[in-house]
Amino acid sequence: MYDLTFELSGEWTPVPAERFADPGVVMAAQHGPSRTGFTANIVVTTVPGGLWAAEADWLAQLAESYVAVCLLCRNEFGTADTPGCARVVRLRSAGTDVVQTQVLVEMAATAGSIVVRMALTCTPDQLDEVLPDFEDFVGSIRPAPLRD
């Protein structure tokens, strides 16, 4: 696991990472009461390795879980030392269409590098309400200070 610091706005409630089967889950949060029946959520995971492999693997994992996965847009950012990409993916399951805004950032770690994967999942109708909070959240992510 990789320690990160972050800030959540008041509308978001942390969810224990232990609730998830994925040991890479570092943080999860859900948005306040849902008017649409779908609770918007943020999940942060870490995976070892490089950005480009992690990006491809994530799309493959989504394709296993959803009926349809459509990449709507993708942008690269960062530096050679800390590359990143952001993308928006539309996901269709049996009864719900959701939009997932994803941000991936490669960071140096003790043994090589890790990729921090941050995802906001919501319905298209919720996106305008929760996207600014997610952008603030992503901007607040930092590696935690080293402990003695």
Q: What tens digit of pLDDT does each residue of 70-97 get?
A: 999 999 999 888 899 999 999 998 778 9
Are 17 and 147 contacting, i.e. CB atoms less than 8 angstroms apart? no
Are 27 and 15 contacting, i.e. CB atoms less than 8 angstroms apart? no
Helix%, strand%, coil% for the chain, nearest 5: 20, 45, 30
The identity of residue 70, as a single letter, is C
* pLDDT score recorded for residue 80: 85
**Cα separations in angstroms, 88 against 37, 128, 134:** 21, 14, 13
* pLDDT score recorded for residue 2: 60
Domain boundaries, the chain: 4-143
Which helix (H) or strand (E) element contains residue 119?
A: strand 112-122
- What is the C-alpha to C-alpha distance for residues 2 and 105, in angstroms, rounded to an integer? 13
* Three-class secondary structure assignment of the chain: CCCEECCCCCCEEEECHHHCCCCCEEEEEEECCCCCCCCCEEEEEEEECCHHHHHHHHHHHHHHHCCEEEEEEEEEEECCCCEEEEEEEEEECCCCEEEEEEEEEEEEECCEEEEEEEEEEECCCCHHHHHHHHHHHHHHCEECCCCC
Residues of the chain short of pLDDT 70, as ranges, are 1-2, 33, 110, 144-148
- Cα angle value 125/56/106 (rounded, 5°): 90
CATH number for 4-143: choose from 3.90.730.10, 3.80.30.20, 3.40.1000.10, 3.30.470.20.
Answer: 3.40.1000.10
Query: What mean pLDDT value characterizes the chain?
Result: 87
* pLDDT score recorded for residue 37: 80
